[in-house]
Amino acid sequence: MRFQIMHETPGRMRLRADVSSMSLEQADLLEAWLVSLPGVDSASVRERTMGVTVCYRGSRDELCRRLATFSNSAAEKTLDPQIRSSREMNRAYKERLVFLVIRHYFKKLLLPDSIRSAITMISTVPRFIQAAKVLLSGKLTVDVLDGVAIGASLLTGDHSTAGSVHFLLNVGETLEEWTHKRSVDDLARSMSLQVDRVWRLNEDGSRSIAELSSIAPGDRIMVHTGHVIPVDGVLEEGDVMLNQASLTGESVPVAKRPGASVYAGTVVEEGNCVIRVTSHSGENRYDRIVRMIEDSERLKSDVESQANNLADRLVPWCLGGSLLTLLLTGNVSRAVSVLMVDFSCALKLSMPLSVLSAMREAGRHRITVKGGKFMELISRADTVIFDKTGTLTKACPTVVRVVPFNGEDENEMLRIAACLEEHFPHSVANAVVKAANDRHLDHSEMHSEVEYVVAHGIATRIDDKRAVIGSGHFIFEDEGVQIRPEDTGIFDDLPRSVSWLYLGIGGVLSAAIGISDPLREEACEAVAALHKEGIGKAVMLTGDSLRAAQSVAAKLGIDEYRAEVLPEDKAAFIRSEHESGRTVIMIGDGINDAPALSLADVGIAVGSGAVIAREVADVTIAAEDLRELAWLKLLSDALMRRIDRNYRFVMGFNGALILLGALGLIAPATGALLHNTSTVLLSMDCLTALTEE
Least confident of 255-259, 332-336, 401-405: 332-336
Instruction: Indicate if the pLDDT at residue 81 is higher than 50.
Output: no
Positions of CATH 3.30.70.100 in the chain: 3-79
Least confident of 271-285, 304-318, 675-689: 304-318
Instruction: Please name the CATH architecture into which domain 3-79 falls.
Output: 2-Layer Sandwich (3.30)
3-state secondary structure 557-596: CCCEEECCCCHHHHHHHHHHHHHCCCCEEEEECCHHHHHH
Model pLDDT for residues 392-446, shown as the tens digit of each residue: 877 567 898 999 999 999 999 999 998 888 876 566 788 888 899 899 888 666 6
Q: What is the DSSP string of 19-43?
A: SS---HHHHHHHHHHHHHSTTEEEE
Contact at 8 Å (CB) between 690 and 635? Answer: yes
3-state secondary structure 351-394: HHHHHHHHHHHHHHCCEEECCHHHHHHHHHCCEEEEEHHHHHEC
User: How many CB atoms within 10 Å of residue 133?
Assistant: 12
Closest by CA to 183, choosing from 358, 6, 418, 395, is 358
* 619 vs 606: CA distance, rounded Å: 9
Instruction: Give, rounded to a whole angstrom, the gap between the first and last alpha carbons of the chain.
Output: 33
Burial class (CB in 10 A: 0-12, 13-18, 19+), 544: buried
* 151/509: higher pLDDT: 509
* 280 vs 343: CA distance, rounded Å: 48
Positions of CATH 2.70.150.10 in the chain: 197-281
Least confident of 12-21, 265-274, 605-614: 605-614
What is the DSSP pairing of strand 499-505 with strand 465-470? antiparallel
Sequence-distant (≥ 6) Cβ neighbours of residue 267 within 8 angstroms: 226, 227, 228, 229, 242, 243, 246, 611, 612, 615, 616
Instruction: Indicate if the pLDDT at residue 456 is higher than 70.
Output: no
Tell me the CATH number for domain 398-516: 3.40.1110.10
CA torsion through residues 93, 95, 98, 99, sign:
negative
* 200 vs 420: CA distance, rounded Å: 18
HSE, side-chain direction, 13 A CA sphere, residue 593: 34
Model pLDDT for residues 171-211, shown as the tens digit of each residue: 767 876 776 677 666 655 655 555 567 888 988 878 887 87
CA 609 from centroid of its chain's CA atoms:
14
368-393+522-622 is classed CATH 3.40.50.1000: yes
Phi first, then psi, for residue 127 (nearest 5°) are: -70, -40
3-state helix, strand, coil in the chain (%, to 5): 50, 20, 30
Phi first, then psi, for residue 398 (nearest 5°) are: -125, 150
Burial class (CB in 10 A: 0-12, 13-18, 19+), 83: middle
Judged by DSSP in three states, 163 sits in helix
pLDDT, average across residues 280-300: 51
197-281 is classed CATH 2.60.40.420: no
Judged by DSSP in three states, 485 sits in helix
* 401 vs 493: CA distance, rounded Å: 13
Confidence of residue 12 (pLDDT cuts 50, 70, 90): very high
Positions of CATH 3.40.50.1000 in the chain: 368-393+522-622
If you ran DSSP here, which 8-state letter would residue 520 be given? P
Q: Which amino acid is at 670?
A: T
Strand partners, 620: 368, 605
* 223 vs 348: CA distance, rounded Å: 44
